[in-house]
Amino acid sequence: MRLFCLIQLVLLMFLFSCKSDDEVEPSTGSVMVHHKLRPFYHYTPEANWMNDPNGMVWYDGEYHLFYQYFPNGLTWGPMHWGHAVSNDLFHWKDKGIALYPDEQGYIFSGSAVIDVNNTAGFKNGTESPMVAIYTNHGTSSGLQVQSLAYSNDKGESWTKYANNPILSNPGIADFRDPKVIWHEESQMWIMVLAVFDHIEIYSSPNLKDWTKESEFGKAVGYHGGVWECPDLFPLTDNQGIEKWVMIVSLGGNESSEPNGGSATQYFIGDFDGKSFSPESSDIKWVDYGIDNYAGVTWSNISENDGRRIFLGWMSNWIYADAVPESGWRSGMTVPREVKLERKEDKHVLYFTPVEELDNLLDNTNEISQNTISNGFSIDNHPVITGGSYLAEMEIDVTKIENLTISFGNEVEWMKVGYNKSDSQFFIDRSNSGYVDFNNYFRNIIKCNYSPSSTTLLLSILVDQNSIEVFINHGEKVMSALFFPKYDYKYFRVENSSQSEFLHLLNLKAIQKSVIR
Ligand code: FRU
């Protein structure tokens, strides 16, 4: 018997000494696994620095994603356009660098179109030309101009237009980020351009010669920072009425709305081919979180299936170049379908993860209300320890007082919840892992929300180091990064008396789509 115990003891000691390099034992006494940073299903560059999504266009079965890229470092530097393609918006194939800086300057943000009618005359083969319209940021002058590049082989190779720039600088430092669309009624190309504190609208028959039509925004919207990365597109509401949506990002400061730093607002209104008029002066945000910036929508999808799909850069200029890294920095948000809803006499946008996400859901270890005992506390379950999952739940807003869901491990955690007294959703990442790299990272992220029905659907997407909260089918969204030091292990409702007002619909792991 004594010998048996001795063998057991030796075995135990052996097992303990066999912890992998990744496993550590902080003061809690339990084994913790160092957390790795790469998300499972959000786009990230293989190496080095990325910011804004650019030139998003669908062509011949492929979604193209270009992005602001610095291939020689982990902080912002001379900008290139990186390129990736996907059939389903989740499995991306890297295509290397599409556009390099040139004599006109760095390659800043912009868009891409498919010139089906060959209006610019760039076609020289069987494919419709893919034309990129981007900002060149003059390296010595600091002045910004708009330029063109084109591809006749589905984005594989690119030629810069010989007569760049196609729009020169009128003497304004901030003059950038052209988004170009084809306007069917006037049979013209329309460009929206961010010019310091407003948007300028230009038209062109051929992508090369542009006429200024109007200005928008000096006296409306939020102005706590320079305006950047606009988008303009039509969308039909739930009553069949077509409206136009203008999206504008703004580079704010620490005290900017809604939660500090970079954020993106939108306007709903009418567009007659020349000018945009908003139907209301309310300030509306694409995302009430803190890590969704410079987002715009894919071009040319209507030819495919009519959806309007949005993608943002999942970071914030306040701390983007200081966040923990492992050889690459910054990812994109989950691709989101944009829908227009009429609410009384006003319109609002809803943003929901695109349906392709369903194909990544792993049903193997699914957790549902029936499989949870003890109120609502899930510990050491593979769906949670895996770190990438979707949690969908219904909340009875007539009964619930304070809801706090937390997920974490023995020493660090994230909190997300709702305070009925001030009608506010919140994300608290103040003790989520690495938080000291920037003073603002610990701030509580807030989103006002007054429910209009008795039950409310809450969908939470977690992906290793990000959370995206979709409130009421995406009526409001909150996105935020977090950087655990160790893998998280649990997911629970903090106040068990409140858990009876919450019904878990499902909690499923999300499979890896980005394999690196
Ligand atoms: C937005 C932005 C754009 C600019 C780009 C430069 O994040 O500042 O206005 O084109 O980044 O990388």
Residue 114 confidence (pLDDT):
98
User: Structure tokens of 94?
Assistant: 């890297």
| β-pair type (331-332, 336-343) | unpaired
Q: Point out the residues that are catalytic.
A: 52
**C-alpha closest to that of 495 among 389, 355, 393, 376:** 376
Residue whose CB lies within 8 A of the most ligand 1 atoms, among 229, 250, 315, for a mutation test: 229
**Omega before 165 within 30 of 0, i.e. cis:** yes
Residue 175 confidence (pLDDT):
98
Neighbours of 448 (CB within 10 A): 11
Taking the CA atoms of 341, 471, 227 and 54 in sequence, report the sign of the dihedral they define: negative
Residue 304 confidence (pLDDT):
63
Residue whose CB lies within 8 A of the most ligand 1 atoms, among 48, 50, 51, for a mutation test: 51
For residue 195, give every residue at least 6 positions away whose Cβ sits within 8 Å of its Cβ, in sequence order, or none: 172, 174, 175, 215, 227
Per-position pLDDT tens, the chain of length 516: 454 444 454 444 444 444 555 676 666 667 888 988 899 999 999 999 999 999 999 999 999 999 999 999 999 999 999 999 999 999 999 999 999 999 999 999 999 999 999 999 999 999 999 999 999 999 999 999 999 999 999 999 999 999 999 999 999 999 999 999 999 999 999 999 999 999 999 999 999 999 999 999 999 999 999 999 999 999 999 999 999 999 999 998 999 999 999 999 999 999 999 999 999 999 999 999 999 999 999 999 976 688 999 999 999 999 999 999 999 999 999 999 999 999 888 999 999 999 999 999 999 888 887 777 667 889 999 999 999 999 999 999 889 989 999 999 999 999 999 999 999 999 999 999 999 999 999 999 999 999 989 999 999 999 999 999 999 999 999 999 999 999 999 999 988 788 888 999 999 999 999 766
Distance CA 20, CA 32 (A): 11
Taking the CA atoms of 116, 121, 122 and 125 in sequence, report the sign of the dihedral they define: positive
Q: Residue 464, by phi and psi: left (phi above 0), alpha (psi -120 to 50) or beta?
A: left
For residue 57, give every residue at least 6 positions away whose Cβ sits within 8 Å of its Cβ, in sequence order, or none: 64, 111, 112, 113, 114, 130, 298, 299, 300
Distance CA 496, CA 484 (A): 25
Residue 20 confidence (pLDDT):
58
pTM: 0.94
Residue 305 confidence (pLDDT):
81
Where does ligand 1 bind, in terms of residues with CB under 6 Å? 51-52, 68, 79, 108-109, 135, 176-177, 228-229, 293-294
Distance CA 169, CA 136 (A): 10
Distance CA 146, CA 167 (A): 5
Distance CA 230, CA 103 (A): 26
Residue 271 confidence (pLDDT):
98
**C-alpha closest to that of 207 among 138, 122, 292:** 122
- Planar angle of CA 442, 223, 438, nearest 5 degrees: 20
What does the DSSP 8-state code read for residue 7?
Answer: H
What's the number of CA atoms in the CB half-sphere (13 Å) around residue 497? 4
Q: What's the 344 CA to ligand 1 centre distance in angstroms?
A: 36
Atom in ligand 1 nearest the alpha carbon of residue 52: 7
Q: What's the 274 CA to ligand 1 centre distance in angstroms?
A: 25
Distance CA 113, CA 109 (A): 14
Nearest residue by C-alpha to atom 9 in ligand 1:
228
Nearest residue by C-alpha to atom 6 in ligand 1:
108
Distance CA 128, CA 272 (A): 27
**C-alpha closest to that of 108 among 148, 137, 131:** 137
